Structure 1
Amino acid sequence: MTRIALAVDLGGTKIDAALIDDEGAILAPSRNRRPTGPAITPDGLRAAVTDVVSRALAHLPEGAEFAGAGIGSAGPIDLATGSIHPVNMPGVHGFGLVEAVRDAVIASSGEFDPIVRLRHDGGCLALAESWLGAAAGARASLSLVVSTGVGGGVVMGGIPIGGASGNAGHLGQMHVGELTVEEIAAGPASVRWAQLQGWHGETGEDLARSAAEGDRIARAAIERSAKTVGQALADASSLLDLEVIAISGGFSNVSDDYVDLVAAALRDWAALPYAQRTRVVRSALGGDGPIIGAAALVLRA
């Protein structure tokens, strides 16, 4: 019998839900989303959760075994209480996301006591990459998003490492010098830096075009981002003895060689040979990683 999980992926701009089977395939008709945003309230988020969950579960195949619900959320999270404290949605700090999803599943499916598991979105991405993606088979891996923010997750021996509160993997809040990785390397931060150097574009897409056309400031901004990420990853690999690092996120596509630049910076910065050998690769799952990983929280338990 096919096992099906409900996956919920909550980010700063949207909440996604979908049904995913035990092979990691997304049931396309079930996938749906609603906007979130920095001004969302607890009532607004609860309504969005109820809506996306009910729409997804309406496509549960007859005869399939419902395995439960997995949630990946912007962090920090609190595993002990099932609540979230997302930096980019201050109005919902303390929101009981596990409870909201459980209530929505019960209301939509009639399940009396469904399994509901929570991780932050970087941890879900890492779990998906280690299951089906670029880190499959690796003994120790880290998966990373470089986008409007920078975040990631760690998997050891196929098990996601959450740490004491479930928040391990917040690489973007590590410091390189006096600034955090996110303050230097994320897309908006790179655009701001380039503007301060005299570049006249507005977005990461503009930065990519300018660099491709030979603009030296735009190219320098991209190299600065990649070098910072690589240096942080060198330290992470020295600490964790990582075999593979998979990189995704919109800003990682700002140049064809972005991942190669990160890998070179890691090798240059790492002090020990085992860390220098860490493979840095592009994600094999792209934007689907976090939602597939959310499903894996129940399908791979």
Structure 2
Amino acid sequence: MSQTISVRCKLIVPQELRQEIDRTLQGFADACNQILDTAKREKCWNTAKLHHLVYRPVRAATGLKANHVCQALRRVISNAKAVKQVHKFRPTSLTLDARTFKYRESEQTVGVTLLSGRVWLKLKIGGYQIALLRGQAPTSATLSKTKQGDYYINIAIELDTPPTGKTPKVIGVDLGRRDIATASNGRSWSGEHIQAVRDRFSRVRAKVQSKRTRSSRRLLRRLSGRERRYQTWLNHNISKTLVRDAQAIGAALAFEDLTGIRERLNQKPRSKTERRRTNNWAFYQLRMFVAYKAAIAGVP
């Protein structure tokens, strides 16, 4: 058994290569948007059929390599399956495969194929990433650019997972708004402080949005994603603690089943504030974080 995880590594990009990377990211986004427009117009979401429709015109229009076009096609199809409405793609990331990506452990560098050809970039990583990448031969990655202008590469690796087996011990985890997570071993993460932070994010967003000035729009862009990053950080911390506790005593983890909880709650009369507070915590993300960490640690 194995578990696929993504190792996020910062790239050291020379100034002379930044424009070429940006040009490739823009070309990849243009390819995705052209493929999406064709799929909608032809009402075709079959990968093989859509490939024959878009491959040549997209390559001619964007100048991308063959594998870049194939990856753009896969991204459009996978996004269409994941969400009901696919919006316009932005030049923020580039999907790479075995033909467009190479990792050299001895030099801690990665080879990335751009519009002009392959370039080698150094990784700026610490001991955690080095340990995860040791002995690996990854064949896929995603190059991305942040709002601050930094470049990162998420390298997909396979980790062997120990067999879970059976255990008589179980740590039950109850989920809720008052306490984000309460474990049967006594661990608890109070929702009071978390709720205060989320309410503050909401008030600031509402205040900035009401001004509708150029400076307020810039501020809104800086605030964008801050609450999501806070949720992700906290869910990672909760999941690490739960898995570590279960591994220490050889116990399994059992989560409360929240399937359909939002639909049931939204049928009840509630204020706008209460609806927002109930609906915007990422419980599914927390469960997914626990799932992959538990698989690596051998915790059922």
TM-score normalised to structure 1 length: 0.26
TM-score normalized by the length of structure 2: 0.26
- The structure having more radius of gyration, on CA atoms, is 2
More helix by share: 2
